[in-house]
Amino acid sequence: MKKAALLSILVVVLQLAVEVIAEAQQSKKIPRIAYVVGRSAPMQFDEAFRQGLRELGYIEGQNIIIEYRWGEGMEGSLPNLFAEVMRRNPDLISTHSVRLE
């Protein structure tokens, strides 16, 4: 009886090991965020965005990719930027508008 129980436990452990190894070998998709803003240069808002992601456990370049698109201050460029972003099929699109006076 002890041999049967030991054999059953060994089979279960072996099955779990095979599942863990198989899962580890599968490449995991890294989420991509398209970050689109109309201005031409990074500002404190951009770092706050990255900091918020870090607080949630997302580290740029490690377990998340952020693709930046800058409108260079030309509002007319935004439709083209968004069209480009949509073609790349990101997992999330983030944008914001800030009026500085």
For residues 72 and 75, what is the distance between their CA atoms, to the nearest angstrom? Answer: 8
Q: Alpha carbon 86 to chain centroid distance?
A: 16
Mean pLDDT for each 10-residue chunk of the chain (101 residues)?
57 57 64 84 79 90 90 78 90 75 52
